[in-house]
Amino acid sequence: MRERISRVQKELEERRLDALLVTDPHNRRYLSGFTGTSGYVLIGRNDAVFLTDFRYVEQARDQVQGLRVVRHGVQMVEALKEILNEWGVETLGFEQEHVTVGQWERLTSALAPVRLSGTTGWVEALRMVKDEGELALIRKAASIADQAFRAVLDHIHPGVRERDLALMLERYMQDLGASGPSFDTIVASGWRSALPHGVAGEKTVESGDLVTFDFGCVFQGYCSDLTRTVAVGSIDEEKRRIYQVVLEAQQAALREIRPGMTGREADALARGVIEAAGYGEAFGHSLGHGVGLAIHENPRLAVQSDEVLKPGMVVTVEPGIYVSGVGGVRIEDDVLITAQGCTRLTFSPKELLIL
């Protein structure tokens, strides 16, 4: 954690700030190791503290690394003001995307004459490149998702509810050590597979359905995200063709994604295959997103993304085609950007499974 704190401190002078107040839960955990639900990271040019209340002070003393733990009273702002005065802070940075207008107004009033200056995406940018400890946890989360998918395959048959399949997946992942799902589990069958975010419902699987599973888990704070589409019973040629186009699009992206490429260029690798097959209008979302402490992080693999891929980033690669009245297919892997290209972290089979 000390190295992460130091990286923030190095930027304080560049940004003409004396300190940064971190309130986003993911950023708080990244910079401190704290897993509780109430606390603040305050980083100054020469010091750093973790503020929390009576409920979490013992947990903070056990978990927090690289910061001095300070217990605040009923009003956190009183302890904050005292520390800022001690440090001689004139300008305090805050995470403007994670502070409400009401909170900003209260801080501005209580901390005067300290000037507040909004920041955006600062710690999130540091989080994009994972260290070896983070990668080990993401690999474990990915492995749990793979194992859970293999286990649920035996339960996919006509008559089973989407909701029951989702519950099975989540139970298997928790039995394997996950703390829970990383997002609402998607199981979408038949016509509902054309819904990119078709969270599992009461519909039952029918013969001839495509069934899309999009799910993941959280392991020690880090997320995985995996999508596979299977067929139940005999499916028609259009569904087979859609599956094959999506598979070819994903494989094309996995072969060519490399560091130095922008998110826009990565997106184009798969999108070009789908457009050439005549399904461009049926691929309406981006190719992928970063994965880490949050299920959706930067960088984005999207038509509007100029972010440059770097070794150590973990992203999803998830092209899809969705045709109303027919069904949809999405295939997704978690991928680590390496010095040479990229490598998969999820390994569930991708050939069309007909169950």
83-93 pLDDT, tens digit each: 999 999 999 99
Confidence of residue 54 (pLDDT cuts 50, 70, 90): very high
Same structural domain, 188 and 221: yes
pLDDT tens sequence across 207-216: 999 999 999 9
Q: What is the pTM of this model?
A: 0.96
How do residues 248-294 score in pLDDT, each as one tens digit? 999 999 999 999 999 999 999 999 999 999 999 999 999 999 999 99
Q: Do the beta carbons of residue 176 and residue 147 sit within 8 Å?
A: yes
**Do 107 and 201 lie in a common domain?**
no
> Are both 112 and 164 inside the same structural domain?
no
328 within 8 A of 210, measured Cβ to Cβ: yes
Cis peptide before 113 (omega within 30 of 0): yes
Q: Are strands 19-22 and 91-95 parallel, antiparallel or unpaired?
A: parallel
Among residues 140, 301, 334, 138, which one has the least CA distance to residue 227?
334
* Cα 331 to Cα 250: distance, rounded to the nearest angstrom: 7
Tell me which residue of 48, 55, 61, 1 sits closest to 20, measured CA to CA. Answer: 48
> Domain boundary residue among 78, 96, 127?
127
Whose CA is closest to 210, among 168, 242, 182? 242
**Same-domain status, 147 and 36:** no
Between CA 89 and CA 97, with CA 92 as vertex, the angle to 5 degrees is 170
Residue 235 structural domain: 132-344
The answer to whether 243 and 229 have CB atoms below 8 angstroms apart is yes
Q: Tokens in use for 104? A: 């900003």
CATH number, domain of 91, equals: 3.40.350.10
For residues 230 and 206, state if they share a domain.
yes
Q: Residue 54 burial by CB count (10 A; 0-12/13-18/19+): exposed, middle or buried?
A: exposed
Task: Tell me what percent of the chain is helix, strand and coil, each rounded to the nearest 5.
Answer: 40, 25, 35
Does a structural domain hold residue 340? yes
- Say yes or no: 11 and 143 in one domain: no
Residue 206 has pLDDT above 90, yes or no: yes
Q: Is residue 349 part of a domain?
A: no
Domain boundary among 127, 154, 189: 127
Structural domain contains residue 307: yes
* Gap between the Cα atoms of 351 and 314, Å rounded: 24
Burial label for 74, CB within 10 Å (0-12, 13-18, 19+), is: exposed
Task: Give the pLDDT mean for 120-139.
Answer: 98
Does some domain include residue 355?
Answer: no
Residue 46 has pLDDT above 90, yes or no: yes
- Looking at 78, 94, 127, the residue that finishes a domain is 127
Burial of residue 10 (CB within 10 Å: 0-12, 13-18, 19+) is: exposed
Mean pLDDT of 154-158: 97
Q: Give the β-pairing of 210-215 and 314-317.
A: unpaired
Q: 143 and 266 share a domain? A: yes
**Do 323 and 215 form a contact (C-beta atoms < 8 A)?**
no
Mean pLDDT to the nearest integer, 15-41: 97
Say if residue 120 is in the same domain as residue 180: no
Q: Tally the domains of the chain.
A: 2
In a domain, 245, yes or no: yes
**Is residue 222 situated within a structural domain?**
yes
**pLDDT band at residue 57 using 50, 70 and 90 as cut-offs:** very high
Ramachandran sector of residue 278 (left: φ over 0; alpha: ψ -120 to 50; beta: rest): left
Question: 79 vs 18, 75, 110, 189, 344, CA distance in Å?
Answer: 17, 8, 11, 54, 46
Return the structure tokens found at 215.
């799910």
**171 and 278: one domain?**
yes
Q: Which neighbouring-strand residues pair with 71? A: 52
Q: Domain of 207: which CATH number?
A: 3.90.230.10
- Whether residue 350 is contained in a domain is answered as no
The answer to whether the CB of 175 falls within 8 A of the CB of 189 is no
Q: Are 41 and 9 in contact, with CB atoms under 8 Å apart? A: no
Q: Do both 20 and 92 map to the same domain? A: yes
Question: Residue 1 pLDDT more than 90?
Answer: no
352 in a domain, yes or no? no
**Residue 282 sits in the same domain as residue 137:** yes
Q: Sign of torsion, CA 328 264 26 314? A: positive
CA separation for the pair 236, 230 (Å, rounded): 13
Expressed in angstroms, the distance from the first to the final Cα of the chain is 47
Six token digits for residue 99: 């502070």
Check whether residue 86 and residue 158 sit in a common domain: no
